[in-house]
Homo-oligomer: A and B are copies of this chain.
Amino acid sequence: MSARTSPDSSRDIPEATVARLPIYLRALTTLSEQGTSTCSSEELAVAAGVNSAKLRKDLSYLGSYGTRGVGYDVEYLRYQIAREIGVTQDWPVVIVGIGNLGQALANYSGFRSRGFRVVALLDADPARRDEVVAGIEVQAFDNLEQIVKDHDVAIGVIATPAVAAQDVADRMVACGVTSILNFAPIVLSVPEQVDVRKVDLSIELQILAYHEQRKAATA
């Protein structure tokens, strides 16, 4: 194999591409499990549900990891994407709010297998204290600072009711958490250097409802 182009690590990858890299990663893992050792951009694009030209352009931002006339080495490409995203190492994660959703998240095995490790489950309700969810003891929310410091946690997950979410976010930010995944239906305000991503189930359903309504109207 000849020398691969591997651009300097300070280039910036378009946000739209970053959002798709995890999808490619998953598709490559699936291919790998099926025993496929090589694949073309077309095959991978189908597996990931995207256009093959778009896939190739996305990959070109990372470097030149394919072989013309042949395709991509599944394992090699998978490693390169994982390295680019940063999931070759394990990210410690803390989950706050161990209600319906928090418990489901804690029990989710896809966490561990994709580069994330739940180091603590926190809840403000004393009644939940010492409950064990997914093999992890639920602790007092006040332990947040200690845990973040001890495990060097950068990523926090918020699964509390909406009214508590901003408070929790503020506390997280104060402790040094710089990335937040928020499930509460509220717009969090945080300092600029902190990344927030929101997952909102009812927004997704409402988008479906809109299209559903239009289908019904034109039918």
Interface residues on chain A, number (Cβ under 8 Å): 61
Q: Which of B103, B110, B212 contacts A178 (CB 8 A)?
A: B212
Encode A176-219 as 1/0 by CB contact (under 8 A) with B. Answer: 00111100010101000101010111111111111111010110
Residue A47 lies at the interface, judged by CB distance under 8 Å to chain B: yes
Residues of B within 8 A of A126 (CB): none
Q: Which of A18-26, A63-71, A140-148, A164-172 contacts B (4 or more CB under 8 A)?
A: A18-26
**Which residues of A are at the interface with B, using a C-beta cutoff of 8 A?**
9-10, 18-19, 21-23, 25-27, 47-49, 84-87, 91, 93, 100-101, 103-105, 107-108, 110-111, 114-116, 154-155, 178-181, 185, 187, 189, 193, 195, 197, 199-213, 215, 217-218
Q: Are the C-beta atoms of A100 and B108 separated by less than 8 Å?
A: yes
Q: Are the C-beta atoms of A210 and B116 separated by less than 8 Å?
A: no
How many copies make up the complex?
2
6 closest A-B pairs by beta carbon, nearest first, are A86-B213, A49-B187, A100-B104, A179-B208, A22-B206, A22-B203
Residues of B within 8 A of A49 (CB): 187, 189
Q: Are the C-beta atoms of B197 and A86 separated by less than 8 Å?
A: no
Residues of B within 8 A of A211 (CB): 18, 179, 195
A87 to B23, CA, bound (A): 31
Q: Are the C-beta atoms of B115 and A206 separated by less than 8 Å?
A: yes
For this complex, 22 residue pairs linking A to B, each with C-beta atoms less than 8 Å apart, are: A22-B200, A22-B206, A47-B187, A49-B189, A85-B209, A86-B210, A87-B206, A87-B209, A91-B212, A93-B205, A100-B103, A110-B185, A111-B201, A115-B206, A116-B205, A155-B205, A178-B212, A179-B208, A179-B211, A180-B208, A181-B208, A193-B215
